[in-house]
Amino acid sequence: MAAHLAIRNRSVSARDQLPPGTFLRSLFDAALAAADPQLALAEHIPAAVTGRTVVTGAGKAAAAMAQAFAARWPGPLEGLVLTRYGHALPCERIEICEGGHPVPDAAGERAARRMIELAHQLGPDDQLVFLASGGGSALLTLPAPGLSLADKQAVTRALLRSGASIGEINTVRKHLSAIKGGRLAAAAAPAQIVTLAISDVPGDDPAVIASGPTVPDPTTFADARAVLAKYGIGEPRAVLRHLETAAEETPKPGDPVFARARFQLVASPQGALRAAAAAAMRQNVVPIVLSDRIEGEAREVARVHAALALQLRAGEFRVGNDVVRPPAVLLSGGETTVTVAGAGRGGRNVEFLLALAVALNGAGDITALACDTDGIDGTENNAGAILYPESIARAAALGVSAKAALADNDGYGFFAALGDLVVTGPTLTNVNDFRAILVA
């Protein structure tokens, strides 16, 4: 397959190719379209039950998912979902609430409490539908007994700056919560429970997506304590006491509260990469899908991607006996992390691109895009950015050093100075990071 594509590409005229930046944006747009909740939910609406159907949910795609569900549900419907500020949509029959992300706030706590109250009202003839998407874990905050919202906010801030993975962060969150880690399902049992999820986590683990309020939790209090110890987080004291006491473990696999629970993945990072690969093929560019589950420090991941791009540029990228030759595009997804040491602005995608720029050092014919599919890279107003072969030289002419910006974790400032930020606004979906490196 790779050899066939490489041979075909050599016959393509340069004038038939889109400009590199335009080409990469077209792949990102294809990835977003594949994760559109309006399309993703269409084939997964559950059957009606004799009793009530109550919809709850949390995440950056929650409003779009609720809108799609309500439009296709033929009977009586009620409920509420929680999304990030600025991500709401009008929706009939399902209330849309907004809350803080990535640090939770009182609005998120109020919505979570109302969801638990709704769940407790359900009986065996009723159905709870939970719409899960990326960001749901941070948004949906209901402190366990003995903890305050301030406690959860403090430990969240510490974890976000530590470089912890999303799986590690959510392990802690679940053991500080009265709703996550299967506790919403426990409140709703014996009602039927259906979870429809758009995954934003490497490996699509149901227990990690939105911290799994309606699915079994395989992690433990001991696991949560180990995460805080690993990253040297010793405050707040109330959090440490709660984890040490370990008074009530989360519901585990095999617990009878999940006897009538069903989980359905409706969109995923792999599906987004598959759509981007198909879009590249239509432009006669060889797609090389590396993985949809790449984790680790953004700058370390960037160095590996740079090495792969340079190998491809040199004409030595081999798959079995075949050599893949440019034009080709490296595609990957997942969720990297940033250990914050500087005072700059920027999320993990611009950090990745800035480190990639330093590693490539102006190598010709290599252009890259890295964006968060929710449209928000970290806490900024951009989805990500585009790196061009001449980006370092252009920045230097403006008095901006790529290495200095990287040391200060200031990817946003670097690409803003060049005018190369990608700004989409909220996309109302979330299948995590999207990276595309074009070797022309």
Distance CA 187, CA 179 (A): 9
Q: Binning pLDDT at 50, 70 and 90, where does residue 14 land? A: very low
Q: Is the pLDDT reported for residue 80 higher than 60? A: yes
Q: Is the pLDDT reported for residue 7 higher than 90? A: no
The CATH code of domain 2-35+270-439 reads 3.40.1480.10
Q: Is the pLDDT reported for residue 130 higher than 80? A: yes
Distance CA 134, CA 124 (A): 29
Q: Binning pLDDT at 50, 70 and 90, where does residue 12 land? A: very low
Strand 127-132 with 78-84, pairing: unpaired
Q: Could you read off the pLDDT of 17-63 as tens digits, one per residue? A: 789 999 999 999 999 999 999 899 988 999 999 999 999 999 999 99
Residue 16: its pLDDT value, please?
Answer: 64
Rounded to an integer, the average pLDDT of 123-134 is 97
Q: Could you read off the pLDDT of 181-234 as tens digits, one per residue? A: 999 999 999 999 999 999 998 889 999 999 999 999 999 999 999 999 999 999
Q: Determine the residue type at 86.
A: G
Q: Could you read off the pLDDT of 333-354 as tens digits, one per residue? A: 998 988 888 888 889 999 999 9
Rounded to an integer, the average pLDDT of 233-262 is 95
Q: Is the pLDDT reported for residue 168 higher than 80? A: yes
pLDDT averaged over the chain? Answer: 93
Are 230 and 161 contacting, i.e. CB atoms less than 8 angstroms apart?
no
Q: Binning pLDDT at 50, 70 and 90, where does residue 329 land? A: very high
Are 185 and 258 contacting, i.e. CB atoms less than 8 angstroms apart?
yes
Q: Does domain 37-267 have CATH number 3.40.50.10180?
A: yes
pTM (two decimals): 0.87
CB atoms within 10 A of CB 169: 23
Are 97 and 83 contacting, i.e. CB atoms less than 8 angstroms apart?
yes
Q: Could you read off the pLDDT of 413-432 as tens digits, one per residue? A: 999 999 999 999 999 999 98
Structure tokens at 426: 């909220």
Question: Comparing 344 with 70, which gets the higher pLDDT?
Answer: 70
Residue ranges per domain, the chain? 2-35+270-439, 37-267
Are 408 and 380 contacting, i.e. CB atoms less than 8 angstroms apart?
no
**Dihedral over Cα of 110, 113, 115, 121: its sign:** negative
Q: Is the pLDDT reported for residue 11 higher than 50? A: no
Dihedral over alpha carbons 414, 416, 421, 426 (to 10 degrees): 120
Q: Binning pLDDT at 50, 70 and 90, where does residue 9 land? A: very low
Phi, psi of 120 (to 5 degrees): -65, -20
Phi, psi of 81 (to 5 degrees): -130, 160
CB atoms within 10 A of CB 237: 9
Distance CA 357, CA 401 (A): 11
Q: Binning pLDDT at 50, 70 and 90, where does residue 166 land? A: confident
